[in-house]
């Protein structure tokens, strides 16, 4: 479509007498990335989530990501205020948010501008823009709209002005409520999605409210669909294969909370912090139904101490937080390590240090997770790489914590927290549940810390067990839990607590390699970058490049077999979202370069000259970026 | 949880008569004349008299001289980190309401580093018995001023005397919403100390007992004016509070009738500076306990979990076409 036809189709669209553009045959696509953005409170998030759910119902692969403004109520029509959702829809399985956006529905030109400036849109991106601002009573708004409109058109984007407000007003008095369903109707047309599925979404969302709300929303939906059919001169279809297995579509935080539900843990102690809170919100809603409770403590220190107290006296407990709260918990985590109290700590990482970027994605807390708390405080650190793994990692973490009487830190991030990806519906198993609290009598002579010489493991005594009375202490202690300042005992107990990590390591499987086990370049990642790294590897392998990747789920202890895997490649590099010094900076050289976190870990453990590349932009690293980085690395080898 | 039925418990308890030694563990390492010894004696006596089962009793503490307390009890104990005894104890109680939980905390532990937890613990009003071992100084770290040190206290960090008026733990506690039991005891009147410890134990809700505790090591004379002049100690008696023996009343003549349900009077009495009121300042048995408000009546069984999980998953499930029809 050239500029001219766009302009004319726009004119037609804007005018009252609709001239049907005539239904064009749908153009088949392999995938598309769609964004719906508005001021916050206008419902773009809901529209996007529904679109994702509908596409998933159709059998498409999807990955949805929330677009969240940093402030709760940013001023209306502001560049930084874009709120909404980004949905990547594909024919096959989608593992990440992908690269730049193909199509945007924007409720005003300012939020659009924000996305343009953030370079989030493909050069020829299609923009469906609310046109009401062109005829607004405030001349400043009109001027701003026209200026932006002209600029984005000049920049080569294909802009369609849509009279959404005008059309919605013919159905409802307040178009602010409902415009999102109108937009959803348009998108259903554009992507040839079944309107019936969209109606289901409305019923799901508003079914409990009165019928007039449901009816109005369905009317808006149908109107949007009709309008698009009559006025748009393009239409797509993204072929899908319906899954034969039931799938669940939730974001990472909901998956975490479902994991807590499934794990049999009974208490979650927390203090609100972005972006972790939504997991606790959801858990607060549902936990009591299965006999659990969420305790909102007075601060993170109290939350961690409360969880420790509960774990000590009963089943393993969980505390959920993000960066700043994770820092506050460190002293208490050390106590759990010292007392050998099982504990699961979830850190949904955000940008740091300090208050940093509360709503943004970063992987900056790996070192704190492993080395945090003073002294030698060995703990297990895991990182789910997918939404599905968010669910299962909690179950695994609970089990490890209770088997080894250790603290298990689970690291997710703002990216996973707010992204949705369908995964096979979990089938509950009794084995996920914590066993009942042991209240059997302790045999005479048994000691509260009877460390095993080989594994460092000791059975823990739980209050209520007759004969098990002792005082757990954060001070150095002997097998009787008596305070001990003896040099030998101190060293021995440090050894035992450390041995438990080795014992766990012996039970871990080597990570699998994505791609061939031999080649020119191996990329190592961890956490939420998994999908993007593997997609980049896949693309490059299709182009004939000898590249592979390996994703680490356990960061502490590192599983066996890593060195052998690395030996199969000419070069190994890490890709992650935390700081590493840029080699091109004037004063940076090999004697002072700070490597990114996982690179430091691997370099020190395996004495291999692993390179690193990292990006800390507050958003998931794009597969296209990773491909470019890997290409550069391959070039360096020549 | 393998909990015994109430009858089983009762039967078992009737068979067991505990002796003081059943609660003693280790030799206290406090200085001679340290008021903590008196508190330990009173609490051990309480455990014996009440027949508390050692395995069902937990003493939780923070860090400080006074926080060594659990080590000297032959019950379960949790000697945690500085300032965090209260949240740890709350976690224990939430997970295990069947356990009897005591808290030992120092004036630094409770009123300084743990002050936020102190205020919130009063608000949660969990069924805990809290002993504030107030020696008006940091004992373990060797004599630094604490929030309750009287103004002018010479210490290693205030060699020219402390600068601020002391914080009054009684008025602070009485100022917090949901407060349900506040008492004050002094370590040098063991009989009353015991009565107060006992009343605190029997109160359902958080009982906060401030105990003026001597630290002969760092502040050898600081409580002398009150110890040496019984008239400066004011015993609070009431038919709904404590009643004192004739012998005791002979020595402690300064007594005040105080109904512990009277909050206004309690606050007034708590504010007195030259007299040390001893007894129950406030008691309200009707304040709900957080663990009762929050404890689920549902047992976390596999069946319930499976049903609950599946009900949640249903909300987010995309069913394949053929299954969808079946589900519908
Ligand atoms: C986080 C932390 N800060 C400081 C300390 C050092 N410290 C240990 S006990 C204590 C004060 C003890 O005073 P108090 O609570 O009044 O108890 P007491 O020794 O007088 O019984 C301090 C500051 C510590 N253990 N942990
Ligand atoms: S220093 Fe004071 S508080 Fe500590 S044990 Fe000695 S007398 Fe008691
Ligand atoms: Mg003190």
* Sequence ranges of the domains in chain A: 2-14+25-237, 248-432, 513-637
Interface membership of B26 toward A (CB under 8 Å): yes
| pLDDT value of residue A397 | 98
Q: Is the pLDDT of residue B123 over 80?
A: yes
**Average pLDDT estimate for A317-325:** 98
Q: Hey, are the CB atoms on B309 and A299 less than 8 Å from each other?
A: no
| pLDDT value of residue A638 | 77
Of the listed ranges A1-15, A359-373, A441-455, A593-607, the one predicted with least confidence: A1-15
Q: Hey, are the CB atoms on A258 and B309 less than 8 Å from each other?
A: yes
Whether the ipTM is more than 0.85: the answer is yes
Residues of B whose CB is below 8 A from A261: 305, 308-309, 312
| pLDDT value of residue A23 | 62
Q: How many residues does chain B have?
A: 328
**Average pLDDT estimate for A556-580:** 98
Residue A191: name the closest of A146, A242, A155, A228 by CA.
A228
CB pairs under 8 A between A and B: 216
| pLDDT value of residue A364 | 98
**Average pLDDT estimate for A24-42:** 93
> Which residue of chain A comes nearest to B94, CA vs CA?
A310
Rounded to whole angstroms, the Cα distance separating A225 from A238 reads 17
Helices and strands (H and E) in chain A: how many:
21, 23
Question: Would the CATH topology of A248-432 be identical to that of A513-637?
Answer: yes
Rounded to whole angstroms, the Cα distance separating A170 from A199 reads 20
**CA of residue B238 relative to chain centroid, distance:** 22
| pLDDT value of residue A80 | 87
**Average pLDDT estimate for A132-144:** 96
Q: Which pLDDT tens digit goes with each residue over A46-81?
A: 999 999 999 999 999 999 999 988 777 788 999 988
| pLDDT value of residue B173 | 98
> Which residue of chain B comes nearest to A338, CA vs CA?
B80
The correct answer on CATH 3.40.50.10280 for the domain covering B19-290 is no
Q: Which pLDDT tens digit goes with each residue over B79-95?
A: 999 999 999 999 999 99
| pLDDT value of residue A244 | 87
From B63, B65, B156, B169, the mutation candidate for ligand 1 (largest count of ligand atoms within 8 A of CB) is B63
| pLDDT value of residue A210 | 80
Q: Which pLDDT tens digit goes with each residue over B202-225?
A: 999 999 999 999 999 999 999 999
Closest ligand 1 atom to Cα of B146: 16
Closest ligand 1 atom to Cα of B135: 20
Q: Is B215 in the pocket of ligand 2 (CB under 6 A)?
A: yes
Specify the higher pLDDT residue, B134 or B9.
Answer: B134
Residues of B whose CB is below 8 A from A53: 318
Rounded to whole angstroms, the Cα distance separating A184 from A171 reads 15
| pLDDT value of residue B3 | 42
Residue B54: name the closest of B6, B94, B90, B18 by CA.
B18
Q: Is the pLDDT of residue A195 over 80?
A: yes
**Which residue among A249, A305, A472 places its CB closest to the CB of B79?**
A472
Q: Is the pLDDT of residue A19 over 50?
A: no
| pLDDT value of residue A6 | 39
Of the listed ranges A80-89, A166-175, A199-208, A411-420, the one predicted with least confidence: A199-208
Q: Is B106 in the pocket of ligand 2 (CB under 6 A)?
A: no
The domain ranges of chain B are 19-290
pTM over 0.80: yes
**Average pLDDT estimate for A212-222:** 94
Q: Hey, are the CB atoms on A298 and B99 less than 8 Å from each other?
A: no
Q: Is the pLDDT of residue B5 over 50?
A: no
Rounded to whole angstroms, the Cα distance separating A368 from A333 reads 11
Q: Which pLDDT tens digit goes with each residue over A72-127?
A: 778 899 998 899 999 999 999 999 999 999 999 999 999 999 999 999 999 999 99
Burial of residue A237 (CB within 10 Å: 0-12, 13-18, 19+) is middle
| pLDDT value of residue B326 | 61
| pLDDT value of residue A1 | 36
Give distance in angstroms: CA of A451 to centre of ligand 1: 30
Which is the CATH superfamily of the domain at A2-14+25-237?
Pyruvate-ferredoxin oxidoreductase, PFOR, domain III (3.40.920.10)
List B144's β-bridge partners, or say none. B138
Residues having CB closer than 6 A to ligand 1 are B 63-66, 82, 106-109, 133, 135, 137-141, 146
Residues of B whose CB is below 8 A from A308: 80, 88, 91
Site from B76, B118, B299 to mutate, A interface, most A CB atoms within 10 angstroms: B76
The class (CATH top level) of A248-432 is: alpha beta
Closest ligand 2 atom to Cα of B35: 8
Q: What percentage of chain A carries pLDDT values higher than 90?
A: 89
For chain B, first and last CA: distance in Å? 38
Q: Is residue A561 within 8 Å of residue A627, measured between CB atoms?
A: no
Q: Which pLDDT tens digit goes with each residue over A409-432?
A: 999 999 999 999 999 999 999 999
Q: Which pLDDT tens digit goes with each residue over B222-236?
A: 999 999 999 999 999
| pLDDT value of residue A18 | 40
Q: What is the per-residue DSSP string for A107-132? A: SSHHHHHHHHHTT-EEEEEEEEEE-G
Interface membership of B246 toward A (CB under 8 Å): no
From B217, B220, B222, B223, the mutation candidate for ligand 2 (largest count of ligand atoms within 8 A of CB) is B217
Q: Which pLDDT tens digit goes with each residue over A259-284?
A: 999 999 999 999 999 999 999 999 99
Strands (E) across A39-162 are located at: 61-67, 83-90, 101-106, 121-130, 158-162
| pLDDT value of residue B16 | 61
From B216, B219, B222, B223, the mutation candidate for ligand 2 (largest count of ligand atoms within 8 A of CB) is B216
**Which residue among A298, A310, A440 places its CB closest to the CB of B91?**
A310
**Which residue among A295, A298, A299 places its CB closest to the CB of B94?**
A295
Res. B327 pLDDT band, cuts 50 70 90: low
* CATH code assigned to A513-637: 3.40.50.920
A93 contact partners, CB below 8 Å, separation of at least 6: A61
**How does DSSP classify residue A548?**
E
Give distance in angstroms: CA of A268 to centre of ligand 2: 38
Average pLDDT, chain B: 93
Q: What percentage of chain B carries pLDDT values higher than 70?
A: 93
Q: Is B290 in the pocket of ligand 2 (CB under 6 A)?
A: no
| pLDDT value of residue A13 | 42
Helix axes B85-95, B115-124, angle to 10 degrees: 30
Q: What percentage of chain A carries pLDDT values higher than 70?
A: 96
Residue A141: name the closest of A174, A165, A124, A118 by CA.
A165
Q: Which pLDDT tens digit goes with each residue over B26-83?
A: 889 999 999 999 999 999 999 999 999 999 999 999 999 999 999 999 999 999 999 9
Average pLDDT, chain A: 94
For chain A, first and last CA: distance in Å? 43
Give distance in angstroms: CA of B217 to centre of ligand 2: 6
Q: Is the pLDDT of residue A17 over 90?
A: no
Res. A342 pLDDT band, cuts 50 70 90: very high
Minimal-distance CA residue to ligand 1 atom 2: B82
| pLDDT value of residue B7 | 44
Q: Hey, are the CB atoms on B1 and A436 less than 8 Å from each other?
A: yes
Q: Is the pLDDT of residue B15 over 60?
A: no
């Amino acid at each position: 479509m050239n500029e001219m036809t766009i302009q004319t189709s726009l004119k037609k669209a804007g005018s009252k007498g609709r001239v049907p553009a005539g239904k064009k045959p749908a153009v088949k696509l392999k995938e598309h990335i769609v964004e719906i953005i508005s001021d916050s409170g206008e419902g773009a998030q809901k529209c996007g989530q529904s679109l994702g759910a509908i596409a998933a119902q159709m059998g498409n692969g999807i990955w949805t990501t929330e677009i969240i403004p940093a402030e709760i109520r940013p001023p209306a029509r502001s560049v930084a205020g874009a709120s909404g959702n980004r949905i990547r829809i594909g024919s096959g399985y989608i593992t990440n948010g992908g690269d730049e956006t193909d199509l945007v529905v924007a409720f005003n030109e300012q939020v659009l501008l924000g996305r343009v400036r953030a370079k989030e849109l493909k050069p020829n991106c299609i923009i469906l823009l609310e046109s009401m601002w062109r005829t607004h009573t405030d001349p400043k708004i009109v001027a701003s709209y026209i200026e932006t409109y002209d600029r984005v058109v000049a920049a080569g984007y294909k802009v369609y002005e849509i009279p959404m407000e005008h059309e919605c007003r013919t159905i409802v008095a307040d178009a602010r409520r409902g415009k999102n369903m109108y937009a959803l109707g348009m998108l259903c047309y554009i992507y040839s999605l079944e309107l019936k599925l969209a109606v289901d979404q409305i019923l799901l969302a508003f079914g409990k409210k009165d019928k007039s709300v449901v009816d109005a929303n369905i009317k808006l939906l149908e109107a949007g669909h009709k309008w698009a059919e009559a006025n748009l001169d393009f239409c797509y279809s993204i072929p899908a294969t319906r899954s034969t297995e039931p799938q669940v579509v939730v974001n990472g935080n909901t998956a975490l909370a479902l994991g807590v539900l499934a794990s049999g843990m009974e208490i979650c102690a927390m203090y609100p912090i972005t972006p972790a809170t939504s997991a606790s919100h959801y858990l607060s809603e549902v936990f009591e139904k299965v006999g659990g409770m969420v305790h909102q403590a007075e601060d993170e220190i109290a939350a961690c101490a409360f969880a420790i107290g509960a774990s000590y006296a009963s089943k393993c407990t969980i505390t959920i937080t993000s960066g700043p709260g994770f820092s506050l918990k460190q002293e208490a985590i050390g106590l759990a390590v010292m007392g050998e109290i099982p504990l699961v700590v979830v850190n949904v990482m955000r940008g740091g240090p300090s208050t940093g970027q509360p709503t943004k994605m970063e992987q900056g807390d790996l070192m704190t997770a492993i080395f945090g708390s003073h002294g030698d405080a060995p703990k297990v650190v895991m990182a789910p790489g997918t939404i599905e793994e968010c669910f299962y990692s909690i179950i695994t973490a609970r089990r490890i914590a209770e088997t080894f009487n250790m603290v298990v830190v689970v690291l997710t991030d703002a990216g996973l927290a707010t992204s949705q990806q369908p995964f096979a519906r979990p089938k509950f198993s009794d084995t996920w549940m914590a066993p009942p609290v042991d209240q059997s009598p302790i045999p005479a002579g048994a000691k509260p810390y009877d460390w095993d010489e080989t594994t460092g493991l000791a059975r823990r005594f739980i209050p209520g067990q007759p004969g098990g009375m002792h005082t757990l202490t954060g001070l150095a202690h002997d097998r009787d839990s008596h305070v001990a300042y003896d040099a030998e005992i101190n060293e021995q107990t440090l050894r035992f607590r450390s041995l438990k990590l080795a014992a766990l390591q012996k039970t871990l499987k080597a990570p699998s390699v994505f791609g061939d086990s031999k080649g020119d370049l191996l990329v190592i990642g961890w956490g939420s970058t998994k999908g993007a790294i593997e997609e980049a590897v896949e693309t490059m392998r299709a182009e004939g490049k000898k590249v592979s990747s390996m994703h680490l789920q356990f960061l502490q202890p590192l599983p066996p077999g890593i060195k052998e895997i690395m030996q199969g490649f000419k070069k190994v590099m890490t890709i992650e979202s935390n700081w590493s010094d840029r080699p091109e900076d004037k004063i940076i050289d090999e004697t002072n370069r700070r490597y990114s976190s996982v690179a430091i870990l691997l370099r020190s453990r395996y004495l291999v000259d692993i390179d690193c590349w990292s990006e800390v932009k507050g958003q998931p690293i794009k597969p296209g970026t990773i491909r470019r980085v890997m290409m550069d690395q391959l070039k360096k080898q020549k | 949880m393998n909990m015994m039925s109430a009858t089983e418990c009762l039967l078992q308890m009737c068979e067991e008569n505990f002796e003081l030694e059943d609660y003693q563990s280790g030799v206290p390492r406090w200085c001679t004349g340290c008021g903590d010894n008196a508190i330990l004696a009173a609490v051990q006596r309480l455990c014996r008299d009440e027949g508390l089962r050692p395995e069902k009793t937990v003493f939780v503490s923070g860090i400080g001289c006074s926080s060594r307390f659990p080590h000297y009890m032959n019950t379960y104990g949790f000697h945690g980190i500085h300032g965090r005894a209260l949240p740890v104890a709350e976690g224990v109680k939430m997970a295990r309401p069947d356990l009897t939980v005591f808290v030992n905390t120092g004036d630094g532990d409770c009123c300084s580093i743990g002050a936020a937890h102190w205020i919130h613990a009063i608000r949660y009003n969990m069924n805990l018995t809290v002993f504030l071992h107030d020696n008006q100084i940091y004992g373990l770290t060797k004599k630094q001023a604490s929030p309750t040190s009287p103004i002018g206290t010479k210490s290693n960090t205030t060699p020219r005397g402390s600068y601020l008026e002391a914080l009054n733990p009684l008025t602070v506690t009485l100022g917090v919403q949901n407060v349900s039991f506040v008492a004050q005891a002094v370590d040098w009147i063991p009989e009353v100390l015991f009565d107060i410890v006992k009343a605190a134990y029997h109160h359902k809700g958080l009982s906060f007992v401030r105990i003026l505790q001597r630290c002969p090591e760092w502040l050898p004379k600081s409580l002398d004016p009150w110890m040496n002049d019984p008239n400066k100690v004011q015993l609070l008696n009431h038919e709904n509070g404590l009643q004192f023996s004739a012998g005791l009343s002979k020595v402690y003549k300064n007594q005040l009738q105080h109904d512990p349900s009277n909050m206004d009077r309690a606050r007034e009495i708590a504010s007195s500076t030259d007299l040390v009121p001893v007894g129950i300042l406030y008691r309200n048995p009707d304040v709900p306990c957080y663990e009762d408000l929050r404890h689920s009546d549902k047992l976390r069984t596999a069946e319930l979990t499976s049903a609950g999980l599946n009900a949640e998953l249903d909300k987010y499930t995309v069913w394949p076409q053929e299954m969808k029809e079946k589900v519908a």
